[in-house]
């Protein structure tokens, strides 16, 4: 290694990093949104791979050189723990869970983990039929199909949220788990959702497992011409090719409507659910849990805060304050409430920036399964006798608010 040039050393480490399973998951797209393959994606994990230049662990912040087969940004110790946590579970037979935002990404994996643990799950989404089809595609769908309910709703309508609360009490005899995962982070134009809107309009539910409050889409959008071929991302969602998005808004540029919608979806709806569903919690004899899915953007004790997306920062900070305030009250009725940071699993920057970063080797250290495992950790831990409440958890450990 001593005889290698600087460029050769950089390439050596890049090849090893790209060979990890986490990097192999992250696709490359061209400027038109078409996926393409690079020599990096033909790589296989290298046993006992060791970087020339030490890098800092995402979790413990210590330098390391030995690479895990899955993670490229975690040291061997943290990688082993996080990889084991991905398959963590418990017996939730007889438990009833309400999960908001369960159609894609972290929410989808949370739902799968709960269902495979034996729980009955009612999940919410704006696009119920699309969500149900995603679950139908799972190889073990038949094993938990009868315990899955998908509720179509747009949380920007508080009237719809009130009806959801009524309907949950009619569908469920009790409530054991509430996971406030739904969030509005990047606001997109109606055109972006056209394929989903048209699918919802033309795909009528054929099962009692799909519940609808009202059609959660813009009827005017259906007047648009027939669907066209579109580029899809790694989550089978339409690619957003805009040059600018909400993640780069500042205080002076956030539209008032977006500000209000973000607060409603990210903090007011969780408040309503935690408050008005407490009587349903009280019907259960099990240990009961509320997990408010948060993020580091809502943390005050953070020195490297950027000046972007103040509206989402405010919303997550408000959600954290809900936990900080109400957890000590709800625990008196044995309802254990915590906030959880999912970890860095996706890049929210505009498309061109994301692809530039991908070409340079920037890949988030975690994926959606890691995020889901973090969200459910308070429940799995409690089922093993480790009960806690009123905490803000990052990487499975309490952190500062």
Q: What is the pTM of this model?
A: 0.92
Closest by CA to 72, choosing from 380, 362, 370, 398, is 362
Question: In DSSP terms, which residues pair with 99 in a beta bridge?
Answer: 123, 179
pLDDT tens readout for residues 238-257: 888 888 888 899 999 999 99
Q: 5: part of which helix (H) or strand (E)?
A: none
122 pLDDT above the threshold of 70: yes
Neighbours of 156 (CB within 10 A): 17
CATH classification of 96-398, choosing from 3.40.50.720, 1.20.1080.10, 3.40.50.2020, 3.40.50.150? 3.40.50.720
* Distance between CA atoms of residues 328 and 299, nearest Å: 20
- Give the pLDDT mean for 36-62: 88
Write down the H helix ranges in 19-104.
Answer: 21-25, 76-85
Residues of the chain with CATH 3.40.50.720: 96-398
pLDDT in tens, 327-349: 999 999 999 999 999 999 999 99
């Amino acid at each position: 290694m001593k005889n290698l040039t600087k460029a050769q050393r950089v390439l050596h480490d890049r090849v090893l990093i790209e060979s990890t399973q986490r990097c192999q998951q992250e696709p490359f797209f061209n400027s038109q949104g078409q996926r393409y393959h690079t020599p990096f994606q033909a790589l296989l994990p290298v046993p006992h791979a060791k970087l020339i230049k030490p890098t800092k662990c995402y979790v413990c912040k210590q330098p390391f050189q030995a690479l895990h087969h899955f993670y490229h940004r975690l040291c061997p110790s943290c990688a082993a723990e996080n990889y084991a946590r991905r398959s963590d579970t418990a017996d939730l037979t007889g438990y009833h869970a309400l999960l908001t935002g369960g159609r894609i990404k972290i929410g989808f994996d949370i739902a799968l983990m709960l269902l495979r643990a034996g729980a009955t799950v009612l999940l919410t989404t704006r696009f119920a039929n699309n969500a149900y089809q995603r679950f139908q595609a799972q190889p073990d769908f038949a094993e938990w199909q009868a315990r899955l309910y998908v509720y179509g709703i747009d949380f920007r309508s508080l009237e719809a949220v009130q009806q959801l609360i009524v309907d949950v009490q009619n569908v469920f005899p009790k409530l054991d788990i509430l996971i406030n995962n739904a969030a509005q982070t990047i606001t997109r134009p109606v055109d972006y959702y056209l394929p989903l809107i048209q699918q919802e309009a033309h795909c009528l539910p054929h099962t009692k497992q799909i519940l609808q409050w009202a059609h959660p889409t813009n009827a005017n959008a259906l007047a648009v011409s027939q669907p066209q071929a579109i580029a899809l991302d790694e989550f089978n969602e339409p690619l957003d090719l805009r040059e600018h998005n909400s993640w780069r808004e500042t205080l002076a540029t956030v539209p008032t409507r977006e500000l209000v919608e973000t607060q409603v979806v990210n903090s007011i709806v969780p408040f309503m659910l935690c408050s008005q569903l407490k009587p349903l919690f009280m019907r259960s004899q099990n240990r009961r849990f509320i997990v408010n899915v948060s993020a580091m953007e809502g943390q005050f004790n953070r020195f490297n805060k950027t000046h972007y997306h103040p509206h989402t920062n405010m919303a997550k900070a408000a959600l954290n304050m809900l936990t900080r305030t109400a957890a000590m009250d709800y625990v008196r009725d044995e309802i254990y409430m915590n906030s959880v940071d999912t970890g860095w699993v996706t890049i929210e920057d505009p498309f061109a920036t994301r692809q530039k970063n991908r070409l340079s080797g920037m890949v988030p250290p975690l994926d959606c399964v890691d995020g889901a495992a973090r969200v459910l950790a308070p429940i799995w831990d409690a089922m093993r006798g480790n009960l806690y409440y009123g905490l803000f958890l990052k990487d499975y450990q309490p952190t500062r608010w």
